[in-house]
């Protein structure tokens, strides 16, 4: 069967290849689920792996199948599977267990191992293929009525986990009740975070570089947020005008902005970093000022990576809630479909060259 893969460590090696079709026999104890791929989301992670910034092939292979944002239809289940049946829609988690205590209790998303395993990213093949098989433990059911949003399950899980981590950590304050949030970045993660924060009744300012009017502004404002162009208003000016935020959700991919956010967070506030800023770029920060204000202001920095099964469930619940509260808005994030695995070069072109591409995804069997 067909798959889109790279040779990790070799820049711009993305290619189409034939790989064996998986079967339930690949998963022991009758726990396997065979899935026909419908759609796979792709993002900056796939682009950066193709740029050879990170990523490793599974042992015994010189290639890595890309794709960590999965959505498909169950074809066949093993004898021990009770909660899924053929025809069900599913997404699949990304991290796989290592050896740490966190992995042993099902929290492989926060492993303390130096070596980690992620499908489509590091040491495990991804989902950009026609079929995949995995253990029922990593499968998450998607309601049939969310079929049009199923490919956003993984990005939604990232946002759901990041917000959960911030709220859990802020229980230290006993009465934390954030009223104002800045969301930095208006890609898929920033917009989904905007939606989830608005569902909590929080006033949201979604900050992105591009001046309006534009699609990102339309989506953010349809969620009830205020869209701010950083070319017109700096973070410092925004905080002076509307007040410092109780919560900042950073999703820009810019180290400079990630650190700038530290300068505008309010007292007892939480800053959540979700973006990966690969490379060697250096930024200067007012270290003494930040240190003073953060210590005296009881401020919190939380870093969050991809989620486990429960975070996928929370993300899918948020997508469903968002459809009820803001009908038809979230689907507008899905801007750039690519038809079929054969068009992998167009997929990569959109990721690299098309700055207007909000969300690129591959229609495999949809």
Kindly state the tokens that stand for 25. 């026999």
Looking at the chain, the whole-number percentage of residues with pLDDT higher than 90 is 94
Question: What was the pLDDT predicted at 156?
Answer: 98
Give 49's pLDDT tier (boundaries 50, 70, 90): very high
Q: Tell me the average pLDDT across 160-173.
A: 97
* Residue 366 clears pLDDT 90, i.e. is over it: no
The answer to whether 4 and 16 have CB atoms below 8 angstroms apart is: yes
Tens of pLDDT, residues 327-349: 999 999 999 999 999 999 999 99
Global pTM reads: 0.96
Domains and CATH numbers, the chain: 2-142+335-363 (3.90.180.10), 157-303 (3.40.50.720)
Mean pLDDT of the chain: 96
Residue 194 to residue 205: CA distance in whole angstroms: 8
Residue 139 to residue 117: CA distance in whole angstroms: 16
Give 305's pLDDT tier (boundaries 50, 70, 90): confident
In this predicted structure, which of 34-38, 94-98, 117-121, 282-286 has the lowest mean pLDDT? 282-286
3-state helix, strand, coil in the chain (%, to 5): 35, 25, 40
Give 278's pLDDT tier (boundaries 50, 70, 90): low
């Amino acid at each position: 069967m067909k798959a889109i893969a790279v040779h990790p460590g070799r820049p711009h090696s993305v290619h189409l290849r034939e790989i064996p079709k998986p079967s339930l026999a690949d998963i022991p104890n009758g726990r396997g689920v065979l899935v026909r791929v419908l759609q796979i989301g792709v993002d900056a992670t796939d682009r950066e792996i193709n740029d050879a910034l990170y990523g490793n092939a599974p042992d015994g292979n010189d290639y890595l199948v890309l794709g960590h944002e999965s959505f498909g239809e169950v074809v066949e289940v093993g004898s021990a599977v009770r909660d899924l049946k053929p025809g069900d829609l599913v997404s699949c988690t990304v991290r796989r267990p290592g050896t740490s205590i966190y992995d042993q209790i099902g929290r492989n998303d926060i492993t303390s191992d130096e070596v980690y395993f992620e499908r489509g990213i590091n040491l495990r093949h991804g989902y950009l293929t026609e079929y995949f098989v995995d253990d029922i433990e990593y499968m998450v059911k998607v309601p049939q009525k969310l079929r049009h949003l199923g490919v956003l399950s993984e990005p939604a899980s990232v946002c759901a986990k990041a917000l959960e981590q911030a709220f859990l950590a802020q229980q230290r304050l006993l009465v934390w009740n954030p009223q104002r949030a800045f969301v930095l970045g208006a890609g898929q993660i920033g917009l989904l975070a905007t939606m989830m924060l608005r569902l909590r009744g929080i006033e949201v300012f979604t900050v992105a570089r591009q001046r309006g009017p534009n699609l990102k502004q339309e989506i953010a404002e349809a969620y009830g947020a205020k869209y701010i162009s950083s070319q017109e208003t700096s973070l410092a000016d925004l905080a002076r005008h509307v007040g410092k935020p109780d919560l900042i959700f950073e999703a820009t991919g810019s180290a400079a902005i990630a650190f700038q956010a530290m300068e505008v967070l309010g007292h007892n506030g939480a800053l959540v970093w979700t973006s990966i800023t690969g490379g060697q770029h250096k930024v200067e920060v007012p270290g003494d000022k930040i240190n003073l204000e953060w210590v005296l202001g009881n401020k919190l920095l939380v870093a969050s990576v991809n989620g486990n099964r429960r975070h996928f469930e929370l993300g899918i619940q948020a997508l469903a809630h968002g459809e009820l509260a803001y009908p038809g808005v979230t689907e507008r994030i899905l801007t750039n479909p690519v038809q079929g695995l054969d068009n992998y070069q167009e997929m990569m072109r959109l990721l690299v060259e098309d700055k207007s591409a909000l969300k690129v995804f591959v229609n495999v069997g949809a």
